[in-house]
Structure 1
Amino acid sequence: MIEERIERRERKKTMTLNEYIAENGDKTIEIQDDGTIRVLEDKGPWKPEKGDYYYTVDLLATSWDADRTDYCRLELGNVFQTREEAERMVHRLKARKKFLDAGGHEGMDGLVFGDRYHVYPQRGDKILMSAKERNVTAFDIWFKTEADCNRAIDSLTKDEVAALCWTGDEE
């Protein structure tokens, strides 16, 4: 077993990129400064093991039984490892509703993409601002005017702003 690992490690040191891809499939890779290749992990959503507890957006803690209900929640993105993660999603969903209530729109609706204002998170500063953005932004909800966009931002609570600016790193 150990010999096989050593042999594989030695073989990988001298592989061409095509050989590496043929052996490892289409996993996402990153070429390091020293020329080595690092396979990036496909994290995907967290999935509990049987008997583990998880949280939902109604802040219910429940046991993973691997039944239909559990898999439906997982498919909908309603399975969270911690209560804090579930609360963050609640804040994001409340922010989305406030965006729509403040005059936000979804979809194309006939406007040229550059004529739209989006809520744009400045994650490092943990603030939200309005901007004419071509990138997909928070929930891909857009506003016709900058004033409408700023009104939507101003309607958010501190927790809702923090949830939209969260980068996935621990705070």
Structure 2
Amino acid sequence: CEDGGRGAGMTLNEYIAENGNKPIEIREDGTIRILEEKGPWKPEYGERYYAISDDGKRRAYQWSHENADKFRLWMGNVFQTETEAKRALNRLRARKKFLDAGGHEGMDGYRFGDRYHAYPQRCDKTLIVAKEGSVTAFDIWFETEADGRRAIESLTDDEKAALCWMGENE
């Protein structure tokens, strides 16, 4: 086992109980290799990255391991491309508009099916409002369908596109 010898002589269940759900590979000879866990992209020293600045604009920075760089990374405000930063900014603007249009956060004693949510249709990448029991845009809910529709209508095309983005290439 390539885990510093800690897994020698263990069953797979024992190994998982001790090491959690780290991604592993079981080799043909029965040994276990811990796979590298993927995290958010992090620039190398001197590499350019993009972030949303305190004035709400996208800015390019150069990674230097300074506290400001580390703080942006910790906050999820480090993007490999300007397009990714733009999408994040549009999502933040859309979230604020949902709240400004009467959206609510948190459960407040409601079940998912009791509230109206805005969420993207995967087939045509448009936003709709319905009583939905699954993950929705920001988990912000509306008391009425009309409130949800008003929130969607307040969005720009870029904000709608950012909410409907499913991880495919542009």
What TM-score do the two structures reach when normalised by structure 1? 0.76
Aligned to 2:165: 166
Deviations 1:79-101 (A, max 9, x none): 00000000001110110011001
Q: How far apart are residue 51 of structure 1 and its match? A: 0.5
2:49 is equivalent to residue 50 of structure 1: no
What is the rounded CA distance, in whole Å, between the counterparts of 1:145 and 1:41 in structure 2? Answer: 46
What amino acid is the match of 1:163?
Answer: A
Q: Against the structure 1 CA distance between its residues 117 and 77, is the aligned structure 2 distance closer, same or farther, given a 3 Å change threshold?
A: same
In 1, are the aligned partners of 2:117 and 2:140 still within 8 Å (CA)? yes
3-state SS of paired residue (1:120): strand
What is the rounded CA distance, in whole Å, between the counterparts of 1:170 and 1:161 in structure 2? Answer: 16
Give the total of aligned pairs: 153
Q: How far apart are residue 43 of structure 1 and its match? A: 3.2
Greater share of helix: 1
In 1, are the aligned partners of 2:112 and 2:134 still within 8 Å (CA)? no
Identify unmatched segments of 5+ residues in structure 1. Answer: 1-15, 31-38
Q: Against the structure 1 CA distance between its residues 51 and 159, is the aligned structure 2 distance closer, same or farther, given a 3 Å change threshold?
A: same
Q: Percent identity?
A: 67
Aligned to 1:36: none
Aligned to 1:83: 82
What is the rounded CA distance, in whole Å, between the counterparts of 1:124 and 1:43 in structure 2? Answer: 29
Aligned to 2:152: 153
What is the rounded CA distance, in whole Å, between the counterparts of 2:43 and 2:15 in structure 1? Answer: 32
The ranges of structure 1 where at least 4 consecutive aligned residues each deviate by more than 4 angstroms after the TM superposition are 16-22, 39-42
What is the rounded CA distance, in whole Å, between the counterparts of 1:151 and 1:120 in structure 2? Answer: 14
What is the rounded CA distance, in whole Å, between the counterparts of 2:35 and 2:160 in structure 1? Answer: 30
What amino acid is the match of 1:169?
Answer: E
Q: Against the structure 1 CA distance between its residues 113 and 87, is the aligned structure 2 distance closer, same or farther, given a 3 Å change threshold?
A: same
What TM-score do the two structures reach when normalised by structure 2? 0.76
What is the rounded CA distance, in whole Å, between the counterparts of 1:47 and 1:169 in structure 2? Answer: 21
What is the rounded CA distance, in whole Å, between the counterparts of 2:110 and 2:51 in structure 1? Answer: 36
Identify unmatched segments of 5+ residues in structure 2. Answer: 1-10, 26-33
2:58 is equivalent to residue 62 of structure 1: no
Q: Against the structure 1 CA distance between its residues 147 and 29, is the aligned structure 2 distance closer, same or farther, given a 3 Å change threshold?
A: farther
Aligned to 1:131: 130
Deviations 1:74-132 (A, max 9, x none): 01110000000000011101100110011000012233432111111113311010121
Aligned to 1:8: none
RMSD value over aligned CA atoms?
A: 3.0
